[in-house]
Chains A and B, each alone.
Chain A
Amino acid sequence: MKGDRDKDMKRILIAVVIVAALLLTGCSSSGGIPAVVIPTPISTPTPTETTNDTQITYVDDFGIPEILVGFGLSGSVVEFDGVYPGWSGTVPATIVNGMDRNRLFVLSLRSPSPSKLQDGYEALPQEYFDWITISEPRVTLLAGQVYQIPITLAMPYDSDYTNKRAEVRILIEDTTQSGLVQIALETKWFIITGK
């Protein structure tokens, strides 16, 4: 009798171990449901901050020069490293309007010229331009005004554009200019997607 009980006990324990092993396998990171954490949008230029799983770092902060004529742009280069499907984040483009007059600015996306692409990068395919949303594509600024325009990058959940290094430009044009020669500025966005 005692021998039979021991055998039953062993069988039950083996069954429990097998069930546990199967459950463990089923819950490994490769087979589990991927969780998506959308970071809180960031729009304040703080030297370094961390929000959820996103860290934003500001470099080259030399202050804002006095711009008497024309306009300037801060946030002139932005690099996103490790973007994955379902992630989104927001970074401002800061326009510094000169002291000379009011201006109407228009923001748009463009592909960089092939000869001007950063080494190791490809132009972000135009079919992905809708990943980028400019909150205010047209904005009028008063003379001397400094203004932040939030721009959001959102990689769709179902995107397979992974393990890529892509560049896209955000062109800022002053539409109140007239005459033969006009000035525009643009920010470079480098997008590195995860594997």
Chain B
Amino acid sequence: MKRDEKGIVIVLLIAALLLPGVLLAGSALAANPQVNITVSAAVIAITNNKADWAMGVVEVNDIVYFSVDGTQNNTWSQVNNTGNVAVDIEIRGTDIEGGDYDWALNTTTGSEIYSLYANSEAAPTVYDVEVKSSGYGNLTTNLGTSTTYDWSMKFTAPTAFNASDVGTEKTATVILVASKYTP
């Protein structure tokens, strides 16, 4: 082999050895795609003008509407969108606690079991939004900024409860959860 030929072979060998490293570096730079994060800086906020309500004495199977006198009134409470973007509002409840026996919140009533329903935007006098303790009901959607929504609830007492519950004060909580409306 001539000297020139040996030189060409050596150059080719060196190139063959270096090339993988160059390609590896290139692939490392290009391996990961870009991640795009989009954040909505809009502010969600709501208020509700009724925090407390005393139901009074209830008997088994009583149906009580949340209102001044316990009769049906779909404008008992008013939620207001005080943020700068439209929101959805979901509703969740809890068991009623106090005394020796708690009353569980459920779809239908039973012994030591009560139910709670809210009225919906679509049918303001129909109480068809189930208030659950294990999930969320849809109270209203796409509530605009500076807009109010009237709502109320219907309580149905247990079909039976223990005698030790008589004269006992019990409490529950209803939580309104707002999130940005995303069509």
User: Which A residues lie at the B interface, using CB under 8 A?
Assistant: 5, 8-9, 12-13, 16, 19-20, 23-24, 26-29, 32-37, 39, 42, 45, 53-65, 67, 69-84, 87, 89, 91, 96, 113, 115-116, 118, 169, 171, 173, 177-188, 194
Contacts and interface: CB of A to CB of B under 8 A. Distances in A.
A35 B37 contact: no
- Dominant SS at the A interface? mixed
Interface of B: 1-2, 5, 9, 12-13, 15-16, 19-20, 23-24, 27-48, 50-53, 77, 82-85, 88, 90, 135-136, 138, 171-180, 182
B50 A181 contact: yes
Given A70-B46, A72-B82, A53 B35 contact: yes
Contact of A186 (B28, B31, B37, B178): B178
A184 B82 contact: no
B84 A24 contact: no
A61 B171 CA distance: 40
Contacts of A82: 33-36
A180 B172 contact: yes
Contacts of A39: 35
For the complex of A and B, list the 5 residue pairs with the smallest distance between their C-beta atoms, beginning with the closest: A72-B45, A35-B28, A179-B51, A60-B42, A76-B180
Contact of A65 (B31, B47, B82): B82
Nearest to A61: B41
A81 B24 contact: no
Given A70-B82, A186-B177, A76 B35 contact: no
Given A65-B43, A73-B45, A83-B35, A5 B9 contact: no
Given A5-B2, A63-B84, A181-B48, A76 B179 contact: yes
Q: Which of A20, A39, A58, A77 has the most CB of B within 10 A?
A: A77
A180 B136 CA distance: 16
Contacts of A37: 32
Contacts of B1: 5, 8-9
Contacts of A67: 43, 45, 82
A181 B30 contact: no
27 contacts: A24-B19, A32-B28, A53-B33, A55-B36, A57-B37, A57-B39, A59-B39, A67-B45, A69-B82, A70-B46, A70-B82, A72-B43, A72-B45, A75-B39, A76-B85, A80-B35, A82-B33, A116-B90, A171-B177, A173-B175, A180-B51, A180-B171, A181-B48, A181-B174, A186-B177, A188-B180, A194-B33
A13 B85 contact: no
A59 B45 contact: no
Given A16-B13, A180-B173, A182-B51, 15 more contacts: A9-B9, A19-B16, A53-B33, A59-B39, A60-B85, A63-B84, A70-B45, A70-B47, A74-B42, A76-B180, A77-B40, A87-B35, A179-B173, A183-B176, A194-B33
